[in-house]
Amino acid sequence: MTKKFSPTRLLKFAVFAALAVVLPAGCASGAGDQAVTVNSVGLQMFEWNWKSVGQECTSHLGKEGYKWVLVSPPQEHIIGDQWWVHYQPTSYKIDSSLGTRAEFAQMVVDCRNAGVSVIADAVINHMAASETDGWAGTKHGKYNYPGLYGNADFHHCTEANGGSASGGIEDWNSLKQVQECELLGLADLNTGSQHVRDQLVGYLKDLRSLGVKGFRVDAAKHIAVSELKQITDAVPGDTSWLFEVYDGPADPAKYREFGNTFGFNWAKSLPSMFSTPGMLGGQASAAVLATLDKSDATITLVTNHDTERDGSTLTYRNGKTFELANMFMLAIPYGMPMVYSGYAFSDRDAAPPTDSKGRTLAATCPANSNTIDGVAAAPNLADGTFVCEHRWPGITGMIKWRAAVGDAAIQNVYNKGSAYGFSRGDKGFVLFNTSTDAFKGVVKTSLPAGGYCNLAVTGALPQGASCTPENTFAVAKDGTVAISIPAMSAVALSR
């Protein structure tokens, strides 16, 4: 859960700078068998129930090259028909409207068998604001959670102790208020307490015992760095950590010392890049390079469940532009990319459809979701329809392209008008056309001579399938290739 702020840095140049960064070899959050690394592509499957996630891992995600999937919070929550009820815990039972403990465990097994690790969204900053009964029947008061917490286990923010008159966060520039006052009325856990940390560690270890490989820590900036570090240190060292540090006085760099943070400012820079002709291309100065967050500790994203609702980033409603932005994210040698897949909505609070008992229905993808026509139709999907952006052909094709180019450096940059592209060593070449007009020209690449299929259109071709003539590009002996592509499209070639 987040509170929206205006970006404080001039980041439209930072992405340009990112293009000059060579992909590092490891992840900053520690050694070991971690799921989230610079060599893996992740996917947030927002509000998908556990059975549907498991089925998608088996049928699509593993085959398309996704290596980890971020699922919604699995703990018991208050009852309601809004998506954010999952962010109001009532206990740490693995029992929610998304499925039972057994269904969650089976999902983890199914995904693991498909080569996909599960990252769970962990709500450990607070408990529920509402006293509504929990999904599994747990009864509680705002500061009374039987068997877990009592009044003394929460921060009680008052003017007398340097907090606020309301007890909630009033001054978003005050680190003390951000980390000790209540966020949106939610009961703020005192993570400085050993008892509280023990309970949280117990919950996280329980999820690890079910095969979960890591956690997105919701509202991480609302937890003091030293206290969060004590929690993460008590969990197995090969755990992947994704911290939500979203603007404000908390310093993301301190969280990146033992985990990863999301590149929200980077995501907010993308709308202008893809709406202004010629904005995508650019040169990076040493001064701009110095402003970039650490590549091997930053989760890059185009949107997530919060930003697609606050209007600060591109979303499925932007159709092809959204697809191109994801493709660009996958093309550059910077950060650890996370694709997003959610559902269509007009009411920002609404959860996806449920049955008569309030259980989230199975996710069903539009029949043409893996086609160009499906991308075009996405902005007009009915509320509650799962968009399945993760199946879009440009995105799945670029996952394969990213794997093919590995850590090869950028060279032979092409930057003319609204066309911007580059080679990644002699492994691949990509060109983006962000104009409303078609692009036609001869471009120099670093690829060996030969015929190449455009992965930006075809996606990941089935085994044995051949590329159509209109999607085949011939690279000459001197590395040049004649390219003709429509408006708002791309070409991605790889060995």
Instruction: For 36-55, give one letter per residue: b (16+ CB within 10 A) or e.
Output: bbbbbbbbbbbbbbbbbbbb
Catalytic one of 218, 296, 308, 389: 218
From 244, 293, 323, 389, the catalytic residue: 244
Q: Residue 211 is which amino acid?
A: G
Catalytic residue check, 188? no
Q: Give catalytic status of residue 218 as yes or no.
A: yes
Residues identified as active-site: 218, 244
